[in-house]
Structure 1
Amino acid sequence: MPTTPTTPTEPARLLLVRHGETVWHAENRYAGVSDVALTDRGLRQAARLGQWAARRGVDAVACSPLGRTRATAQPAADLLGTPLEVVEELREVDFGWGEGRTIEEMAAEDAEAVRRFRADAETGAFPGSEPPSAAAARATAALRRLAVRHAGRTVLVVAHNTLLRIALCSMLGIPVGRYRLVLPRLDNAAVTEIEVAGGRTALRSLNVPALPAVPAGAEAAREAPAPYGTDLSA
């Protein structure tokens, strides 16, 4: 007796975005789980992201529980008329000894600890910090749950620089301890697009600025990140 073929799960498009600029990030400090507010520039980045999301046809908006991601995601949710989905597992990595400090400050105190961290963030994780493998497990599980819940839809996911890089490495089969080497940074309010269906993840674009449809003048031009984003859909 012939069997009816099963239809594969329709992929969800997850638009992964690092939150807007904060005071600590402007000073290159590790914010981690510390709740640091957005700067005025970060608030403008959030507003532009909201406008971009409204044009992009986003269906849902999710974010981590920290204030800087909520403030970045809220303009998009307001323009789209959808509630924020706050996902606890998308919080930033706890940097332990590194919280609130610059890499230069840490190197001045313990250069060997910084050398180990730069060589392999998993085996050389800062004292008292969350290992990248643990962060990857919770973040990957959370993103896959979002993909199942929003199959066939587009979801804006506002989270954090380190957490998103670790999750991307994990979902794309890259050792998470190498996230700093493979993905040097994600810019504030820039978009990385992935498609997720079942256990499969496809990278569609990486670190692309969410720019307004019409240039907003010299101020917007000055705030645009240096070219780094790549659209992989062509």
Structure 2
Amino acid sequence: MTTRLLLVRHGETEWHAENRYAGVTDVALTPRGVAQATDLGAWAVRAGVDAVACSPLSRARLTASPAAEVLGLAVEVQEGLKEVDFGWGEGRTIQEMADEDPEAVRRFREDADSGAFPGSEPVARAAERATASLRDLADRHQGDRVLVVAHNTLLRIALCELLGLPLGRYRRIFPRLDNGAVTEIEIRGPETALRSLNVPTAPPPAPAPGPSPAGD
């Protein structure tokens, strides 16, 4: 039986303006991030979501909560969906790291697996725990639509693993997942299909006022 997982990167955080690697650090949502969580809740109702799961980090929990509340569901917290620990890169920007060790940043940009930041979680280990969590959700919610709120790097690594793509190239294959946007995958037994990528959940803007069409 097919399960559809609706993968969502949490709402915008206070470190987004400087593009800092949050990793396992708990960082608060900005007001825009809170609004993205609210939009996601309204979207989840329209999408007919059957279950809600998220990473244990607060930015993911707060993004998932409005959807769970409006749907009358409990949030299933999955430890395996926690963001990658970036080690030496945690809390820093790429420019800060490049100023200190340009060769380390070059290796990371070339291959994010073999060139992972010193002290960071191995990409293969992150892929293993992330896909184990996603497959567990798919097995327990067969035939359902499951909203899964997690993180930019972890979800991109998981997508590569599930789709049979090179883990070290996750940054090039999936340059980014947008905050609050939905990437839908379909899991059927051992097979995974990508159905959509970075679909916004915010309602479309109202049309600008203008002259009434002729005949009205």
RMSD between aligned alpha carbons? 1.2
The residue aligned with 1:127 is: 118
- C-alpha distance in structure 1 between counterparts of 2:168 and 2:206, whole Å: 39
Contact 1:93-1:163 within 8 A present in 2 as well:
yes
Contact 1:65-1:90 within 8 A present in 2 as well:
yes
1:79 and 2:86 equivalent? no
- C-alpha distance in structure 1 between counterparts of 2:146 and 2:122, whole Å: 27
The residue aligned with 2:149 is: 158
- C-alpha distance in structure 2 between counterparts of 1:217 and 1:106, whole Å: 45
1:194 and 2:185 equivalent? yes
1:181 and 2:172 equivalent? yes
Work out the percentage of aligned pairs sharing the same amino acid. 73
Contact 2:38-2:66 within 8 A present in 1 as well:
yes
Alignment of 1:30-41 (within 5 A): 30-41=21-32
Shift >2 Å, 4+ stretches: 214-218
- C-alpha distance in structure 2 between counterparts of 1:25 and 1:62, whole Å: 23
Q: Which amino acid aligns with 1:144?
A: R
Alignment of 1:1-234 (within 5 A): 10-212=1-203, 215=205
1:215 Cα deviation from its structure 2 partner: 2.9
1:207 Cα deviation from its structure 2 partner: 1.0
The alignment covers a number of residue pairs equal to 208
Contact 1:148-1:197 within 8 A present in 2 as well:
no
What secondary structure sits across from 1:179 in the alignment?
A: helix
- C-alpha distance in structure 1 between counterparts of 2:85 and 2:206, whole Å: 36
TM-score, structure 2 normalization: 0.94
- C-alpha distance in structure 2 between counterparts of 1:162 and 1:132, whole Å: 10
1:175 Cα deviation from its structure 2 partner: 0.9
What secondary structure sits across from 1:23 in the alignment?
A: coil
1:217 Cα deviation from its structure 2 partner: 9.1
Question: Alpha-carbon deviations, 1:84-135, whole Å to 9, x = none?
Answer: 0000000000000000000000000000000000000010000000011110
Contact 2:36-2:202 within 8 A present in 1 as well:
no
- C-alpha distance in structure 2 between counterparts of 1:42 and 1:137, whole Å: 28
- C-alpha distance in structure 1 between counterparts of 2:109 and 2:207, whole Å: 38
TM-score, structure 1 normalization: 0.87
Question: Alpha-carbon deviations, 1:136-171, whole Å to 9, x = none?
Answer: 000001100100000000000000000000000000
| Greater relative CO (CA pairs within 8 A, separation 6+) | 2
What secondary structure sits across from 2:16 in the alignment?
A: helix
1:23 Cα deviation from its structure 2 partner: 0.7
1:27 Cα deviation from its structure 2 partner: 1.5
1:210 Cα deviation from its structure 2 partner: 1.1
- C-alpha distance in structure 2 between counterparts of 1:174 and 1:89, whole Å: 20
